[in-house]
Homo-oligomer: A and B are copies of this chain.
Amino acid sequence: MHFTSEQHLDDGVVEREFTLGEIPGTLWTPGSAPAPLILMAHNNGLPRREPRLVARARYTAARGYAVATIDAAGCGDRPRSAADDRARADLRRAMQAGEPVDEIFESFIGPLVEKAVPEWRTTLDALLTLPEVDGPVGYSGWTALGIHLAVTEPRIAAAGFFAGGYVPRAQREEAWQVTVPLLFLLQWDDEGNPRQRALDLFDAFGTKEKTLHANLGGHTGTPWFELEDGGRFYDRHLR
């Protein structure tokens, strides 16, 4: 793990870019060390530099957590293949034409999740060797990745998922194997995410300790107080 830049933010949080082999990532750490770690990923492999994710990460770090994110293969700062570009173009075309996009998402997001999980685990190994990072480990964000990670990675102790990304068949089918405490966040009127599908997924999670928070509004309209509620969820399970 090589740190390539370091920025000191107002509230004592240190924001560092890193590379780990081919994987580019960002680590936020609070002033106080060592801090429990939260892995934070955007739905559908959106770039780790996206302002909404960065804002969540900085808030969470200021609350006393180490927060890390990486770009998935073909996403963010990483080189795109011709196949990635084709899939994105297909998706855009289908959405503009109002055609069903499930199969395109399935063929694009399914492999993305499968490939991303080993990289997140490698990143987790590296992060836990740092003196400023400690267990237990939480997860926040991208539902599909979080399901596969929670099922395959026993160090994940609590997870907060955002409904609203495409969840591939394989992850819907393994959702019952998620047994860690779970906070599931749903935007009631999310344009791209059928509500019933999200409610079915909440129902399917195997954990006995799961909470659904639903708020009115579209995909990006999550109210600010959910950030605090999420923080308290992690406080209950990671401290």
Contacts and interface: CB of A to CB of B under 8 A. Distances in A.
Interface of A: 188, 199, 202-203, 207-216, 223, 225, 228-229, 232, 236
Nearest to A225: B236
A211 B210 contact: no
A214 B229 CA distance: 14
A210 B189 CA distance: 12
Contacts of A188: 202-203, 212
Contact of A213 (B202, B213, B216): B213
Contacts of A229: 229
21 contacts: A188-B202, A188-B203, A188-B212, A199-B199, A202-B214, A207-B216, A208-B216, A209-B216, A210-B215, A210-B216, A211-B213, A211-B214, A212-B212, A212-B213, A212-B214, A212-B215, A213-B213, A214-B214, A225-B232, A225-B236, A229-B229
A124 B210 CA distance: 37
Number of copies: 2
A214 B209 CA distance: 11
Nearest to A214: B212
Contacts of A216: 207-211
A33 to B, nearest CB: 28
Given A211-B223, A213-B213, 9 more contacts: A188-B202, A208-B216, A210-B216, A211-B213, A212-B212, A212-B215, A214-B214, A225-B232, A228-B232
Residue among A199, A213, A214 having the largest count of chain B Cβ atoms under 10 Å: A214
A209 B226 CA distance: 13
A68 B94 CA distance: 56
A180 to B, nearest CB: 13
6 residue pairs, one from A and one from B, having the closest CB atoms: A212-B214, A211-B215, A210-B216, A213-B213, A208-B216, A211-B213
Contacts of A225: 232, 236
Nearest to A229: B229
A228 B229 CA distance: 10
A55 to B, nearest CB: 20
Contacts of A203: 188
Residue among A199, A211, A213 having the largest count of chain B Cβ atoms under 10 Å: A211
Nearest to A212: B214
